[in-house]
């Protein structure tokens, strides 16, 4: 949402919400709690999406071929489906991978055990990038934060042996207009305002009545952490601005774009 607003482009319609959607300017294949590697446990047990990155790739592959077939039929399809050249002109964005690490910790794996499957994780991610590139994609943006012991996708795990640490901007929140980088804005209880049983929007029963206890903080605009899982919109906006100006890229390259009128 922040990216669409900042770039002045329409929101992307979800691939799975195909009926009546307009895909002429792009499509969103993301799902809640998705991972790069397929998870070997059910959604109810693990809490992660069954639509992993390889499934999303297959959806994209079908989307690319089928949209061109239907668009060639003319009529309304020409208005709702992308032109063939858009696939090579598009910006392919990825924000996935953190849940793969979290999944390991949910299974009570140690950091060393989680670290051991990172090479396979990055290999699978690299394969998807190569597949899209082979189909005409040229510009890719990976925005997913990963621990300090996981280096960019071309290199796999680095030699750094430290524990996972937050991005540097989270360690200097005051200088960037934020407060309490680790404490959740919306939640309930404890040092970090987080309770795994009563989260953001959570209620408890008191004398037979439900009472909302997972409330939002007064000013989310100065908080980084929304609910111990997601950033606040203010934090997302801060990161987005630095993606656009290139300061979060390596090498530093501004994200050039044209506003859609």
Of the pLDDT bands very low, low, confident and very high (cuts 50, 70, 90), residue 128 is very high
Chain segment 61-102, per-residue pLDDT in tens: 999 999 999 999 999 999 999 999 999 999 899 989 989 998
Distance from C-alpha of 221 to C-alpha of 179, rounded to nearest angstrom: 10
Angle between helix 53-71 and 118-134 (nearest 10): 10
Distance from C-alpha of 83 to C-alpha of 86, rounded to nearest angstrom: 5
Alpha-carbon torsion (145, 148, 150, 153), positive or negative: positive
Q: Is the pLDDT of residue 198 over 70?
A: yes
Q: State residue 166's pLDDT score.
A: 45
How many angstroms from the chain centroid is the CA of residue 230?
10
How many angstroms from the chain centroid is the CA of residue 133?
20
Phi-psi region of 246 (alpha: psi -120 to 50; beta: other; left: phi over 0): left
């Amino acid at each position: 949402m922040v990216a669409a607003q900042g770039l002045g482009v329409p929101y992307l319609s979800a691939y799975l919400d195909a009926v009546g959607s307009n895909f002429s300017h792009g499509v969103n294949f993301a799902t809640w709690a998705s991972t790069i590697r397929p998870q070997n446990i059910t959604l109810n047990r693990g809490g992660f999406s069954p639509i992993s990155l390889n499934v999303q790739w297959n959806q994209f592959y079908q989307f690319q071929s089928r949209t061109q077939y239907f668009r060639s039929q003319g009529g309304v399809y020409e208005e709702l489906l992308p032109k063939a050249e858009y696939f090579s002109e598009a910006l392919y964005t990825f924000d996935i991978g953190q849940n793969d690490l979290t999944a390991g910790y949910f299974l009570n794996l140690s950091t060393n055990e989680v670290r051991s499957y990172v090479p396979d994780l990055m290999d699978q991610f690299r394969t998807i990038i190569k597949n899209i590139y082979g189909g005409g994609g040229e510009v890719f943006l990976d925005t997913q934060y990963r621990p300090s012991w996981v280096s960019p996708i071309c290199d796999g795990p680095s030699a750094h042996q430290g524990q996972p640490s937050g991005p540097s901007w989270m360690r200097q929140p005051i200088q960037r207009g934020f407060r309490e980088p680790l404490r959740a804005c919306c939640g309930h209880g404890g040092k970090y305002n987080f309770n795994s049983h009563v989260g953001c929007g959570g209620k408890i029963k008191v004398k037979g009545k439900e009472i909302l206890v997972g409330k939002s903080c007064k000013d989310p605009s100065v908080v980084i952490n929304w609910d111990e899982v997601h950033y606040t919109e203010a934090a997302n906006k801060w990161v987005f601005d630095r993606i656009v100006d290139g300061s979060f890229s390596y090498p530093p390259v501004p994200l050039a774009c044209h506003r859609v009128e």
